[in-house]
Amino acid sequence: MPAHAVGTGPLAVYEEESGIQMKREKTHFRHWPILTVVCLICLTPTLWADNLPTDPKQGSRTISPALAASVPAAMAGLKAKSIFLIDIRLPAEFEQYRIPGSLNIAPHAVKAKAFLKSKPIVLVNEGFALSQLAAACDALNQAGFKPTILAGGLLAWKEKGGPLIGDPFAIQRLSVATPQLFAQEAGCVHHLIINASDPKGPAGSAHLPSAKTMRLMDNPKGAAQLRALLKSKSSDPFLTLLISAGNGRENDRIQRQLAKAGIRQVYFLQGGWEAYTQFNNDRLLAGRPREDREVTTGACKTCSQEEN
């Protein structure tokens, strides 16, 4: 039989069937990216939903001023080794930057370390996640500890001249609050939220009615108004100031101008109200039935031809 002829024996039949099988597998592989897209679209909001706050009143409690440890007192206690400064952030966050001499221990793990009862405990995180600190305090009190909270967190420590070690770029972004963190803290009575959006742009108060509208960029009168507002609330050791504008691009400029006006301990919403709106839209999507969240892209034009 010539080399180019097609055989008819068992081997030829096997080769023909193998070719058909390979063609089918090749066609199936072409569909895999489409299936992957569908899976990712379905799974991603579901994974996010696992980390979203489930209690709408979370963060609404008032923290007693008696639980506040001032930055100067914490500095003195740490220097004298008379306190344990416990940083309850995630290990990856702790590695980025931290207070020298602080310990990175999760709240649930603190209860298992009896030696920590030998000294007063001061809990700390970046400073904005007050609900996390309050919950940790409650749990440790029930376990026989006597914890307090570093008022103002790492941001206050930094602004009052306390040393931090770690990535300088991460330290510089210490004042940035993500939309998810902001949502988790919604309703906290200690947060002063300022909507600094352009009056002609989207109103942040539409997303958060409790936000106070105040034009701050290129407006010295706005900075003076903000100083007066902060002074009126100075009796609250856990007062935290967060400013948000349209899309967050104004944050750096507002921060520099407020620093010149003597207002330095400020958090900024990452991505502004636009990012917060997108986060809320994603959260609503995550709560919808799975069939409403599935999206199927069109198959490639050649797939049907190859199958034939």
Per-residue pLDDT band at 258 (split at 50, 70, 90): very high
N-terminal to C-terminal alpha carbon distance within the chain: 30
Pairing of strands 165-166, 97-98: antiparallel
- Residue 69 forms beta bridges with which residues? 150
Query: What's the predicted TM-score (pTM) here?
Result: 0.74
E strand or H helix at 127: none
Task: Give the C-alpha separation, 144 to 60, whole Å.
Answer: 25
Mean pLDDT of the residues in the chain? 80
- For the segment 13-20, the average pLDDT, to the nearest whole number, is 43
- For the segment 272-301, the average pLDDT, to the nearest whole number, is 77
Domains and CATH numbers, the chain: 61-173 (3.40.250.10), 175-283 (3.40.250.10)
Tokens describing residue 86: 């416990």
